Amino acid sequence: MRIGIDVGGTNTDAVLMDGTTVLAAVKTATTRDVTSGITTALDELKRQRAFDPAAVNAVMIGTTHFINALVEADRLAPTAAVRLGLPSTASLPPMVDWPERLVKAISGRAYLCHGGHEFDGRHIAELREDEILKVAEEIDKHGIRSVAISSVFSPVNAEFEQRAAEILAAQLPGIAVSLSSEVGRMGLLERENATIINASLRELADRIVDGLAETLAAAGIRAPLYLSQNDGTLMDVDFARRYPVATFASGPTNSMRGAAFLSGVDTCAVVDVGGTTSDIGVLQNGFPREATTEVSVAGIRTNFRMPDVLSLGIGGGSRVRETGGKVTVGPDSVGYRLVEKALVFGGDTLTATDVAVAAGRAEIGDPSLVRGVVDRSLAEAALRRIAEDIADAIERMRTSPDPLPVVAVGGGSILLPDSFGDSGRVHRPDHFAVANAIGAAIAQIGGMVDRIFPVEPGQRRAVLDAAKQEAVDRAIAAGAKPGSVRVVEVDEVPLAYLPGNATRIRVKAVGDLQVEAVRG
């Protein structure tokens, strides 16, 4: 048995699962301290379905706590950024493109030292121990407790970052060190930004992880604890303490994966229709496609791996209007005030929910307030508009011409038609309200490779095979059961203007948790 928990901004959801069967599912309110909400959720689970805490093999938790801390610029630790790259990169020092408010929130200090690699692995400059020692002094003097280290081309070679981390750790016992080579990919400033954000969250991560472990122990659960990552795989608590930033987008990822799991499809589009927006994502082999472009978080440009999600301003509360014979839906919405503003609830505003009820798609509020009142052709036109816009968004998110099943979730999914183009019948899974927690519970262990490889003529297959093996090895090292690991994603992009047919290769492998395999 495993327990999946999703700690969102509003609700804490939990599920108890045995293999692929959901034994119990509960929804409780998130508490400010996070942990008492989890305790309540575990109690509720037990009430619904008594279980022996010792029979739980693993607990998986997805949380938006860390990204919220950044967005609120609250609970962040004083942080130093040390970049190894001199004499290059000095014109754009760390945090050069940050909002001033966030630099202040982390009392950010930036240091530039010699080091870094060229694209082909040569050293730009040797690492200078004396410079790192001087930085250590400064860090100590300013009472900084967390350090982000970046080095030019560290995705190709991380030796300088690791060496600098050793020196700092020796000088400053207890200092938290985050390495950019572990956080992001090519693109120095964006990778460094993600690393600095990570560093600023390290103390919070310690507090949260300690709190979670104590909470589970108090409930008698001795099973290992894992946190959900952005890409739908798990990290153990030691990794979570070091890389809290990897939880940032776990919410939408778990939601999509949970919905797909409930529908029994692993390659599909997931349309989550809320009150104000519809979020559309695509799963390939059960994992969300990642955004290839830079992602801005709280006004900071980063390049860590986030699911590619397209948001449209269409939701249950979207306002419907007719002007000059043209029917529009959204993008403005009555939002959470749907229950007082919508016509079906006695309000005065025509919303998407009203047209769905008027057209007989759903029974919400008092249907008599709209049926025969709202013009039928207007309702049909509004629903057609919604169907077209969503279909268009799904089309844009597709990655191949093969038919793509559609899974609809969220309170506003009544707005959607029964089928989209060649997708067949829209899947509408039950229990989607706890899809996030299910997404956490079903997660696996992953291994990733994302680097520039020289690909000599005739060597493409050998290079790809080596990259795949490395991803598999990494998954196993992270705790995956060896026989269960499979490669789920391979992407290669040749790079312009680099000699030796340089190609960026990304491979992702995933496997089942070793712990569960051992315990059967």
Could you list the residues that contact other proteins (CB under 8 A)?
A: 85, 87-92, 96-97, 116, 118-120, 122, 124-125, 152-153, 186-189, 292-293, 395-401, 452, 493-499, 501-504
Beta bridge partners of 450: 506
CB of 96 to other proteins, least distance (A): 7
The one-letter amino acid code at 160 reads F
For the residues of 340-372, what is the DSSP string, one character each? HHBGGGT-SB-BHHHHHHHTTS---S-GGGTTT
Nearer Cβ to other proteins (125/433): 125
Task: List the alpha helices (DSSP H) in 398-479.
Answer: 435-441, 460-477
Q: Which of 484, 440, 393, 316 is nearest to 12 (CA)?
A: 440
For the residues of 231-253, what is the DSSP string, one character each? TSEEEEHHHHHH-GGGGTTHHHH
Nearer Cβ to other proteins (174/499): 499
CB of 312 to other proteins, least distance (A): 12
Nearer Cβ to other proteins (231/290): 290
C-beta neighbour count of 84 within 10 angstroms: 28
What 3-state class would DSSP assign to 306? Answer: coil
Nearer Cβ to other proteins (150/230): 150
CB of 110 to other proteins, least distance (A): 13
CB of 511 to other proteins, least distance (A): 28
CB of 195 to other proteins, least distance (A): 14
Q: Which of 9, 3, 2, 6 is nearest to 434 (CA)?
A: 6
Where on the phi/psi map is residue 332: left (φ > 0), alpha (ψ -120 to 50), or beta? Answer: beta
Phi, psi of 130 (to 5 degrees): -60, -35
The Cα angle at residue 121 between residues 115 and 126, in degrees rounded to 5: 25
CB of 453 to other proteins, least distance (A): 12
Nearer Cβ to other proteins (189/416): 189
Nearer Cβ to other proteins (10/400): 400
State both tokens at 167. Answer: 């020196």
Nearer Cβ to other proteins (49/128): 128
CB of 421 to other proteins, least distance (A): 13
